[in-house]
Amino acid sequence: MVRISILACLVAGATAASSVNSTRRFVPGAYIFELADGHDASAVLAEVGSAGTLRRHFDYKLFKGVSVQLHDVDKAPHKAVKIASTPGVKKAWPVQVHSVPTLVNHQPANGAIKSQSSLAARDDDAAKDTYAPHVMTQVDKLRAKGITGKGVKIAIIDTGIDYTHPALGGCFGPGCHISFGTDLVGDDYTGFNTPVPDDNVMDCVGHGTHVAGIIGAAANPNNFTGAALDATLGIYRVFGCLGQVTDDVLIPAFNMAFEEGADIITASIGSASGWTETAWSVVASRIVENGVPCTISAGNDGWYGMFFASAAAGAKGVTAVSSFDNVVLEKSLNGCSYQVDGGNTQACGYLPALEQYAWPKDPLPIYALSLNTSLVGDGCDPLPDTTPDLSGYAVLVRRGGCFFNQKAWTVIAKGAKYMVVYDDRPGCDGVDLGDAGGNMTAAGMVPADTGAAFVSAIKAGHNVSIVLSDPEDISAPGYIYTADNVETGGAASIFTSWGPTFEGDLKPQFGAPGGYILSTWPVKKTGYAVESGTSMSAPLVASVMALVGQVRGTFDPKTLNDLLSATAKPQLWNDGAKWFPGNKLAPVPQQGAGIVQAYDAAYATTFLEPSGLSFNDTDNFAKELTFVLSNKGTQRVSYNISHVPAVTMYTLMPNDPHAAIFPNDILDASAALTFSDQQVVLEAGHRKSISVSAQPPQGADAKRLPVWSGYIAVNGTDGTSLSLPYQGVSGSLHGATVLPADGAYVASTDDFSTPVPANTTFTLPAPGNVTNEDSIVAVNITLSMGSKIMRCDVVPMTTCPPANLTTDDPLGGKYKTIGQWFGFPYVLEPRVTSILVWDGLLDKGVYAPAGKYKLVIRALRIFGDESKLADWDVSETVGFYIKYKS
């Protein structure tokens, strides 16, 4: 028998599809039921009967059960509760939907990318790995010792792989580089329709192919390889060509990878969560408990600030992987070529304007507005009367000083049809001509050094002409641009999602380069592309685990996590625009332990465990924690233990219950740590437990929940240099407002963003007849922190409420209610804004009678007790009327 608290979990599956802004969604009427040992699915399926159909049958070592689709979505929640009461049902969940994280700098070029001089120069010695992400993670040092992941099986859960790609082996199946796995869904799967599995794991998106190349790409014209290029790869395709994926597809994918002998499982999938109890999270944790590490991308929602951990990266034991920016800025550009005085053709790259890219096929002579490559405001002022007719030129203009449209209007005034902007900084961006776009045939941007080369040649009296490829022509050659990333190279990427979890767990664990990463892309698209995201850092960490495991002879998740955390290199704080003064380290909730160092982890002789320490918040404060220092070497070592603080950051805005967006306000104070031992001498083979206590930073505004963190540094006389990340929260997570009093308002589907006035009347369609064209009730709910349970009670405001429906407040409060808005309660909610629509349907499966109502939304606080009324935050909406069309 399932505990009654499962009610909330099951009802949540009814209608999250109507959530517009929420980052979490559920399949209406779909549920997962896990079975206890010794029970089969017959009793559950008998209870389902004709009310539903079987979606999936789970018969795995670590998870047994079924998922079902109930036909009557209106009555599904209550039917699901009845099914969950069937003997043998261990746990139940609504079927949740997850996405591939949105790539931050999606840059496939128009055609098979060719190497160019700056790329070729980075690998002069074929035996030496000089690829920047590998140097940053010490993969190059292991490569020099012949460690390439040979014999290691890595399972990728993703969009598929273009196995025809020559850098990925050209085939799929036994004996191929990509040798195992399956397609669980088919091309047409969206996350909301029925999967049609087949044996073809071909990628029609690109994401999985990029991930595969990061792990296992062979030598190619672009002079990079995968970090574990000799590992055996598997692919479990869980996405169609469009759409998302559900828990009941991810559960078999992970279990199949586990049972088919994967040494490591990696997935770059997720959704905002902060909780650990989702079905997929539970499965991932069990796999880790049974000896197979799971690396999952931390997410690309760094802009939303702290406490935004993803599912299932936030799960217990799972390795949540953060992203750091590559020290080399790599970008996929569209191809172009130029000639000086009609001489040899030289390759270049550009990015086209958003809409204007009808370049002629014949060369255009370049006309430079200025020969000063430092000029600020080039093209911002009217051109002199001596300027020639520019209609036959590609007009070269330096970026900066004014908007692109102003530069465009300047040259249009002299007849220009084509404009080439060159950047004023490392990199290359697109061009938006704005209101000038309709008056120009084509425009684009080239990198700063390319533009400077054009100006230099023209200044010396030469003629320069250029041909720019059509960005829609996939047969045209692409181009990879590289430059030193002096602004953010090595820093945690601004998009990397922040921890901790809502219960104070330390997330992420550590990270790897994920910003500006070159890898494989489907052959029919471009062949190669530069992408950015934790989707890129997670497979690199999986590769590092493969290499370290190959050296050490173990893939035990705890061992690998401890080693990689202790040997990781913490990075300095950078807010995306500048480095923080004083060389302060970036917060642990952003970067975890830092950038993994493969060589150091592979050959470390001193161990630190656990992989991190959490002192939690003030209410749950751990007065003392311990870590273990072990000397696994062959000689006595003396260790010095010290403290290196990181930047302390406020979670919440000043005088506001809502979380601040990135970059958060900084508290110029750090915790003080006290150790039971600051000097430790260990003989070979000996270990010692060391206690540590923390004094939170002084002068903090605890109501804003400052998260303080840093690193315990361990330095040995044998050259050992390790660090242990820690974190804590000043203030009470339970005391933090989850739902402000003004956190919810009633709106109309005509305008979701504007609250309706009190006493607004909504004329709803006849029950069961709502269409997308109807104007109906909407509610906008913004959580300031996450909540395990959120209710939405429909409270009558008439003097004679419907007696057959009205009940006392189920929470023991003051409200009389006719039931909840259909689909509530929601469970395991992240701190997001949800916009939900309502046609009058209640959770009981009946429609609210015509009348006047208000909505009472209540959210359980973090660490709250749902039986205590004081643990619920409340937001009441204005009253409104509903009536139905006849």
Active site residues: 158, 207, 535
What is the secondary structure of 237-255 as a DSSP string?
E---SSS-EEHHHHHHHHH
Angle between helices 279-289 and 247-259 (to 10 degrees): 10
Q: Is the sign of the CA dihedral 498, 502, 506, 512 positive or negative?
A: negative
Q: Distance (Å, rounded) from C-alpha 595 to C-alpha 592?
A: 9
| Strands across the sheet containing 625-631 | 606-609, 625-631, 687-695, 672-675
Residues with Cβ within 8 Å of 579's Cβ and at least 6 positions away in sequence, in order, are: 491, 572, 573
Q: Distance (Å, rounded) from C-alpha 147 to C-alpha 491?
A: 27
Beta bridge partners of 512: 323
Q: Write out the H or E segment, with its range, that includes residue 629.
A: strand 625-631
Phi-psi region of 173 (alpha: psi -120 to 50; beta: other; left: phi over 0): left
What is the secondary structure of 812-860 as a DSSP string?
SSS-EES-BBTTPPEEEE-S-EEEEEESSBBTTSSBPPSEEEEEEEEEE
Q: Distance (Å, rounded) from C-alpha 17 to C-alpha 243?
A: 13
Q: Distance (Å, rounded) from C-alpha 529 to C-alpha 305?
A: 29
For the chain, count helices (H), then strands (E). Answer: 15, 48
**For tokens 């139940």, what's the residue?**
92
Using an 8 Å Cβ cutoff, are 133 and 234 in contact? no
Q: Distance (Å, rounded) from C-alpha 853 to C-alpha 845?
A: 18
Q: In this structure, what DSSP letter does residue 369 have?
A: S
Assigned token pair, 846: 């009946």
Q: Write out the H or E segment, with its range, that includes residue 535.
A: helix 534-552
Amino acid at 253: A
Assigned token pair, 123: 């690998």
What is the secondary structure of 196-240 as a DSSP string?
--BS----SSSHHHHHHHHHH----TTS---TTTTSEEEEEE---
Amino acid at 85: S
CA 126 to each of CA 130, 133, 143, 477, 630: distance values in angstroms, whole numbers, following the listed order: 9, 17, 11, 24, 38
Amino acid at 22: S
Furthest C-alpha separation in the chain = 92
Phi-psi region of 88 (alpha: psi -120 to 50; beta: other; left: phi over 0): left
Q: Distance (Å, rounded) from C-alpha 624 to C-alpha 56?
A: 46
Using an 8 Å Cβ cutoff, are 479 and 334 in contact? yes
Assigned token pair, 558: 């705890």
Assigned token pair, 474: 């996939």
Q: What is the CA radius of gyration of the chain?
A: 29
Helix, strand, coil tally for the chain in percent (to 5)? 20, 35, 50
Q: In this structure, what DSSP letter does residue 365 have?
A: E
Residue 817, burial from CB neighbour count under 10 angstroms (0-12, 13-18, 19+): buried
Q: Distance (Å, rounded) from C-alpha 836 to C-alpha 850?
A: 20
